[in-house]
């Protein structure tokens, strides 16, 4: 629905490949694409979860596309799209939500009336680094 037209290819900073397994939190000021496995949280301006990807942890970004599996809470300040093979087991918070036919969502959803203006990637990264 929202489409990947919202993604600026120049901001794609981090790619976790299909054969990679990452333990710990991933933080980036740009976009993160996950095609492998992440055991920990992912925080970035944008997050793309590929069809074969598995994330066990929270995902926080302005824009989130989920084609794989996420077990954890998802916060998308601008938009969240769960694609046909996507799975989310956890709570979601966003202003715009698209769940395609065939997608799986188990959890609670909070839809905000306005885009989350307080979402600041720099502040989020600093807070995460301090913890």
**Quick one: DSSP state of residue 101?**
T
The mean pLDDT value of the chain amounts to 86
Residue 123 included in any domain: no
Q: How many domains does the chain have?
A: 1
* Percentage of residues of the chain with pLDDT beyond 70: 78
Please tell me whether residue 129 adopts helix, strand or coil conformation.
Answer: helix
Range of the domain at 103: 4-116
Residue 89 included in any domain: yes
Residue 101 included in any domain: yes
d(CA 127, CA 124): 5
Residue 121 included in any domain: no
Residue 130 included in any domain: no
**CA-wise closest residue to 100 among 113, 112, 88, 116:** 88
**CA-wise closest residue to 46 among 86, 91, 78, 84:** 78
Residue 125 included in any domain: no
Q: What are the tens digits of pLDDT across the range 50-93?
A: 999 999 999 999 999 999 999 999 999 999 999 999 999 999 99
Among 11-15, 34-38, 98-102, the minimum mean pLDDT is found in 11-15
Q: What is the pLDDT of residue 40?
A: 97
d(CA 53, CA 129): 24
Q: What is the pairing mode between strands 97-99 and 87-89? A: unpaired
């Amino acid at each position: 629905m929202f489409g990947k037209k919202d993604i600026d290819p120049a901001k794609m900073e981090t790619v976790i490949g299909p054969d990679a397994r990452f333990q710990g939190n991933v933080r980036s000021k740009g976009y993160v694409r996950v095609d492998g496995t992440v055991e920990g949280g992912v925080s970035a301006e944008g997050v793309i979860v590929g069809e074969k990807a598995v994330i066990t942890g929270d995902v926080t970004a302005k824009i989130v596309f989920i084609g794989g599996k996420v077990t954890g809470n998802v916060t998308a300040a601008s938009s969240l799209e769960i694609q046909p093979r996507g799975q989310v087991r956890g709570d979601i918070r966003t202003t715009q939500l698209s769940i395609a036919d065939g997608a799986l969502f188990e959890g609670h959803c909070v839809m905000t009336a306005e885009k989350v203006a307080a979402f600041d990637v720099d502040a989020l990264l600093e807070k995460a680094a301090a913890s």
